[in-house]
Structure 1
Amino acid sequence: MTQLQFNLNMDLLKDSVMNSNIDAVVKSTIVLVLNEYMEKERDEHLKVHAYERSSYRQDYRNGYYERDFMMSIGKIRLRVPRTRSGEFAPTVFEKYARCDKAFVLSMVEMVVNGVSTRKVKKIVEELCGESVSKSFVSSLTEKLDPIVKKWANRPLNTQYYPYIFVDAMYIKVREHHKVVSKAVYIATGINEENKREVLGLKVDHTESYEAWQSFFKDLIARGLQSPKLIISDAHSGLKKAISTEFIGTSWQRCTVHFKRNLIDKMPKKGVAEVKFDLKRIFDAVKVEDARKFKDEFVIRYEENPKLDKFIEKLEEGFDDAIQFLNEDQKYHRFIHSTNSLERLNQEVRRRERVIRIFPNTQSAFRLIGAVLMDYDENQKKRRPLFKKE
């Protein structure tokens, strides 16, 4: 192990500490230590000390060169020793690489968590006293690309997912010097351990049957088996893609979206009792009870002309909205709606709102993927939705 020896003038050191900027003192001390450390390393590499003659000599000294080195305290300038053959390389830069990587990852994490590149740039300047460009901060996030890509393409044949939730949200992306709207397709599921898991992510053009079909084909190619139930809103292209790609799978229309659509068909006043009776239908725990409550609802209000459209929509979407009742009752509260996916979308939206417009599709996929990966990691640490019997 390299041993360092210093002869310090304590009075001078005390005066420097008391009367100088403490940051400058810290930097100067680190420069002193690292320069001395590299000098000793060169001696050990050469097998001789300065001005010493020895038959064990491995090489010859060849002066120094200056090198700037960025650390968490800021940029410092080191006096790096070199040898005639050029084979000597100090370990200082390797040793502190971990610190640099941690600092870089911290910046990346700030961006992923919704801190704008402009703010990250400012934080770096305050911490290090060095200016970095916004493009530099943005380029750091590209280090996430292989990680996100590997996660997004992981196999899905190691578990069975009986219940899958799908939804799309819209973001703004620059494309060919224009700002365009793109759809972000996200699929989550409840796995065999009764934990939520993100299954897939895709950034594509406007939501359509072809886009949903392509998204599902990607999931199936990764090993996804047909689930018992797919829960989503009532987008026509999505419904068609589900029936095409997942033969034998039932579709559950999100009851929250369905009830919201029904309420839009109600009069604005005097409908408190109607809403109560509607809630009673979807609070049922058996299919037979839900049908009974629905029939009673129709008989009670069918003479009210103001509720004609409401009843028509209820009859039209009722069967699709009660499919969850065919599953074990312990699952009902988790699979009757896409609320869990909506909350996840809100987390994505919170980060996306800071960026506002993604510079390209890849950057959108990278950041949203990183957010979903973080969600996945947190879900693994959480308790199951309920214990297995």
Structure 2
Amino acid sequence: MSLASTRWQYLYFTPNKLAWNQERSWQILERYHRSLGSLLNFTLSLDVMGLSLRDLQEALYHLLGSVLFVSAINRVTIEAQVHMDSHRQAKLVQTPPILIVDGVWVDIQYASAETKVDRAGHVRQLRQAQDRVVLTALAVWPDGNHEVLHYEIAEQEDIQGWETFFAHLIERGLDPAAVELVVSDGSLGLPAAMTKHLPQAKQQRCITHKVRRIQDYLSYAQLPTQTEQGQALKPSEAKSQRRYQIQSDAYDIYKAEDEAAAQQRLAAFVEKWQALEPKAVKTFERDIKLTFSFYSFDELLHPRIRTSNLIERLFEEFRRKSDEIGAFPNEQSCLTIFFLVVQRDQAKHDRSSMAKN
């Protein structure tokens, strides 16, 4: 992403002069047009990595010799919206065989019906933070490479939200018949949306979500009171040991070479834990077939497509930035920051791939 061709008009001041620079392009940027393209990209990178606008103000002073107003620095991020819009609207040239989909929740401010009168006597419309979800699709290609394909804001992670999401992907050029697998957590609205828009695709339920949910249904019956070495075992330690053992056994199911072997391990799991933890076993067995779909694909892809971890790591980066911001002022700013996080994540992935080669 290059911002070097943009003509910037900013409010700035130096230690000796305050100037309102509206009529002409900023002379510093014009004079060092080429080099500052990289500087502005660097500024965006620092912003996404967690530096506040005040921190950026201080950092850029040492580079430019001028102190920029925070509103001026914020314009750098605003300009990235143009690139974000272009990225989200670009036509898809190819359709990946595998999609990993999920949503990350954020707070966004929207205008409300309430108003207030400020000190100057002006009537101002109040804004209120509301919950929204950024639905996201990450493409996984046969060679294992992956990239974020599409993202948009929805009111809910429900049937309507996913149907609209897939419809927009198809409008951009996604071939519904070419999608073979959709990896997700337990989103309730997703299966119905897939049936309508991606009828050929299988669903792969994330095994991490599946295994972690076991702990919510543990009864901790017949807990041991001592270790195998005869040492006393506290109740809290015994519970922790039970959680670790049953979840470890569940994960071992998915380490089998093929689905037939995984089914055998599942049968052994049920036989071992049914009497002690019937509710947990019953919950784990529900829709268990959906967690075996990854076995239909190349073994090299299994670590990438049996969980939604690839997209969860991206969301973790985005949450760190969104937590720092609080409530986004509008949807555009939310999508722009998400776009910048995606760009940074892709750059790290590219560097990692180059290092392996």
Which TM-score band (shorter chain)? 0.7 to 0.9
Counterparts of 1:376 and 1:322, CA distance in 2? 28
> Hey, what does 1:162 align to over in structure 2?
97
Paired AA for residue 165 in structure 1 = I
2:289 to 307, 319, 325: 319
Q: Note the alpha carbon deviations across 1:195-233, whole angstroms, 9 max, x for none.
A: 111111112223221111111111111122342111100
- Aligned residues with identical type, % of pairs: 23
Structure 1 regions of 5+ residues with no counterpart? 1-68, 78-90
Counterparts of 2:44 and 2:251, CA distance in 1? 46
Whether 1:274 aligns to 2:210 is no
Counterparts of 1:93 and 1:123, CA distance in 2? 17
Paired AA for residue 83 in structure 2 = I
Counterparts of 2:54 and 2:28, CA distance in 1? 31
Kindly state the Cα deviation for residue 285 of structure 1 after the two structures are TM-superposed.
1.9
Counterparts of 2:255 and 2:63, CA distance in 1? 55
Structure 2 regions of 5+ residues with no counterpart? 1-9, 19-26, 112-126, 221-238
**What's the Cα RMSD here?**
3.1
> Hey, what does 2:3 align to over in structure 1?
none
Kindly state the Cα deviation for residue 170 of structure 1 after the two structures are TM-superposed.
0.9
> Hey, what does 1:194 align to over in structure 2?
144
Kindly state the Cα deviation for residue 376 of structure 1 after the two structures are TM-superposed.
2.8
1:161 aligned counterpart, secondary structure: coil
Kindly state the Cα deviation for residue 106 of structure 1 after the two structures are TM-superposed.
3.8
Paired AA for residue 251 in structure 1 = Q
Larger relative contact order (Cα-Cα within 8 Å, sequence gap ≥ 6): 2
Whether 1:109 aligns to 2:109 is no
Paired AA for residue 139 in structure 2 = G
> Which residues in structure 2 correspond to 1:132-171 (within 5 Å)?
132-156=68-92, 158-171=93-106
Whether 1:350 aligns to 2:285 is no
Whether 1:172 aligns to 2:144 is no
Counterparts of 1:357 and 1:130, CA distance in 2? 30
Counterparts of 2:37 and 2:169, CA distance in 1? 34
Whether 1:231 aligns to 2:172 is no
Whether 1:294 aligns to 2:266 is yes
Counterparts of 2:354 and 2:192, CA distance in 1? 32
Counterparts of 2:213 and 2:133, CA distance in 1? 22
**Compared with structure 1, are the counterparts of its residues 125 and 322 closer, same or farther at alpha carbon in structure 2 (3 Å cutoff)?**
same
Which aligned segments of 4 or more residues in structure 1 are displaced greater than 6 angstroms? Answer: 69-77, 384-387
CA contact (8 A) 2:14 2:67 kept: no
Kindly state the Cα deviation for residue 286 of structure 1 after the two structures are TM-superposed.
1.3
**Compared with structure 1, are the counterparts of its residues 314 and 100 closer, same or farther at alpha carbon in structure 2 (3 Å cutoff)?**
closer
> Hey, what does 1:11 align to over in structure 2?
none
**Compared with structure 1, are the counterparts of its residues 323 and 101 closer, same or farther at alpha carbon in structure 2 (3 Å cutoff)?**
closer
TM-score, structure 2 normalization: 0.75
**Compared with structure 1, are the counterparts of its residues 92 and 184 closer, same or farther at alpha carbon in structure 2 (3 Å cutoff)?**
closer
CA contact (8 A) 1:194 1:385 kept: no
> Hey, what does 1:206 align to over in structure 2?
156
Counterparts of 1:191 and 1:229, CA distance in 2? 11
CA contact (8 A) 2:214 2:247 kept: no
Higher Cα Rg, which structure: 1
Kindly state the Cα deviation for residue 273 of structure 1 after the two structures are TM-superposed.
4.6
TM-score, structure 1 normalization: 0.69
1:236 aligned counterpart, secondary structure: coil
> Hey, what does 1:118 align to over in structure 2?
54
